[in-house]
Amino acid sequence: MNKIIALATVAVLAAPAAAQELRPDQVAFRDLYREMIETNTALSVGGCTDAAQKIAVRLKAAGFADADVTMFATPENPKEGGLVAILQGRDSKAKPILLLAHLDVVEAKREDWTRDPFKMIDEGGYYYGRGTVDDKPQVAIFTDTLIRYKAAGKVPKRTLKLALTCGEETTYAFNGAEWLARNKPELIAAEFALNEGGGGRLDAEGKPQGMAVQVGEKTVQNFQVEATNPGGHSSVPRADNAITDLSMALVKINTHRFPTQFNDTTRAYFTTLAGIAPAPVADAIRTLMADPENKAANDLITRDPLMNSTTRTSCVSTLISAGHANNALPQRATANVNCRIFPGITSESVMADLVSIIGNPAVKVTMTAPIRPIAVSPPLNPAVMDPIRKVAAKHFPGVPVTITMSTGGTDAPYLALANIPTYGIPGMFIDPDGNGVHGLNERMRINVLMKGRDYIDDLVHTLAD
């Protein structure tokens, strides 16, 4: 989460759910959540289609017609399918809302975990299991909201569309959000989408320090940087060397400072941060927003990795391979450079920048698949932002809500292909250690899950009506 949250005013959540008795509706939700956790959707298993089918069974049992639930997959990726469900609204002129969540999870090896990662364990006020935070809560909450609409006989003003997709967690996987945007844009067409990416941070005592709405993110793009050479016997070194050429290129890339940039989202974020940060940082932020080329302000801001990444494109080497024998000069040296590109900047222009930064024609730069679409920041739409704040004040009184641009990545850029502005909503709070997301022993506080479910359900109702 962001520095602004770490500096924000704190407020207290309800008592841990381990000491509470769940309401009947929470018990039903927990069973849905458990089913999703215990359906292994890691890419090695490819169980997204299985998870989507289980959701379809629940939706149809709740009263959704077959025509309102669309299963999708490709012949090449039959286990990586997904689902789109539609709850028709009563106002045909009101544009739909899309609820997006991903079914797939990061790999989890049983031998590394303390508990079985694909069994939901209730322990010490937490639910343990892979996907308990990323992204099975949203899968379960959005599904649960649609089921409860049906059970209550309610018809929202706006049509609600639920898209549960695969492939978000793995670079080279079939991506369901992209496939829908490119092949079935009319199926998911909406005025805007609610997605992962937002959230909140707890302190060590479990008190929330703030919550954030994700409005935009960087483009994630990988590049291969390669140096080649005729090579030869290592007993006869030569001035040109593939490893040396590549090493010098990577040093230049890793130490390069791309230009400082702001958009509406980051300007709002830094304006708020300047109001609560220590004086030297606050002054540097204000100076930088007025003069993005100011060297002294840039020098101070770039000391903080998050602020540095939020203000510019960043590129860093992440993988390297070189040489073929201990007693031979290297004929080839390659590296992967991972770039997080500021919204509105094309991958092609960044590739040209890398070539210029390296300044050595013996080193080639190529873009590697997948080629992701350019990140487009959604507008700070009051029709979306105001209800988020209003409902947050109701459920989490005193907890500040801020706007952030993610330096990571979600499936939001793919929805831009279908002209759907996408917002990462808050509601879930994370412990200071990150709750094991993408790592070992992933866990979610039970009280956080249940309160987050109430918030998100209320938010969807508010936006839909």
**pLDDT for position 421:** 97
Confidence band for 408, pLDDT divided at 50, 70 and 90 = confident
When pLDDT is averaged across residues 215-221 and rounded to a whole number, the result is 95
What is residue 253's three-state secondary structure? Answer: helix
Please state, in angstroms and rounded to a whole number, the distance separating the CA atoms of residues 59 and 65: 9
pLDDT of 6 strictly over 90:
no
User: Residue 200 phi/psi, 5° resolution?
Assistant: -155, 170
Domains present along the chain, CATH in parentheses: 3-217+375-464 (3.40.630.10), 219-258+313-367 (3.30.70.360)
Give, in order, the Cα–Cα distances in Å from 332 to each of 90, 166, 226, 243, 324: 63, 36, 7, 8, 8
Please state, in angstroms and rounded to a whole number, the distance separating the CA atoms of residues 81 and 103: 9
What is residue 41's three-state secondary structure? Answer: coil
Confidence band for 125, pLDDT divided at 50, 70 and 90 = very high
Q: Residue 11 has which token pair?
A: 């407020």
Confidence band for 23, pLDDT divided at 50, 70 and 90 = very high
Comparison of pLDDT for 313 and 1, the residue scoring more: 313
pLDDT of 18 strictly over 70:
no
Over the stretch 177-208, which tens digit does the pLDDT of each residue have? Answer: 999 999 999 999 999 999 999 999 999 899 99
Which of 83, 10, 27 is CA-nearest to residue 453?
27
